[in-house]
Amino acid sequence: MSAQIKHSNLYLTQARSSLSAQDRMKIYDKWAATYNDEATVKSSDNPAKSGILDAGCGTGLVGQALASAGAEVIDGYDLSAAMLMVVDQIDVYRSLAQGDLAQRIGKADDTYDIMTCVGTFTSGHVGLILL
């Protein structure tokens, strides 16, 4: 494991366990100098094979755009069973699951490399309170 990845894991662990925005700001201030290099190292293996969670996938518009850009491993997660029935017809998602984004999704933290969440943290949807 490279020193960059070790730093990344350390900073990420610290950020996840911090209790205040002030603490997180200090962590990210320290991380800023190496953040881009670490993110590049983590994502350079095979971007097409990176696991992507489309959180709040709706009818699949984001998944279609990701697939068009070359993504191959996309899972969808949405609150609405009817939305998932629509998205199931487009055949770009590896798997689909129904659930509430205000709750844990029941997957290990390292399941996905990337998470998209488009149009969900707004009034009438998941809401701003979770941000």
Over residues 61-103, the pLDDT tens digits come to 999 999 998 999 999 999 999 999 999 999 999 999 999 988 8
Q: Which helix (H) or strand (E) holds 54?
A: strand 51-55
Give the per-residue pLDDT at 57: 96
Q: Which CATH architecture has domain 47-130?
A: 3-Layer(aba) Sandwich (3.40)
Token pair listed for 3 = 């020193």
Is a pLDDT exceeding 50 seen at residue 5? no
The residue behind tokens 């205000």 is 102
Is the pLDDT higher at 20 or at 68?
A: 68
Q: Which residues of 61-76 are buried (b: 16+ CB within 10 A; e: fewer)?
A: ebbbebbeeebebbbb
pLDDT band of residue 124 (cuts 50, 70, 90) is: low
Is a pLDDT exceeding 50 seen at residue 4? no
Domains of the chain, by residue range, sit at 3-43, 47-130
Token pair listed for 96 = 């689909």
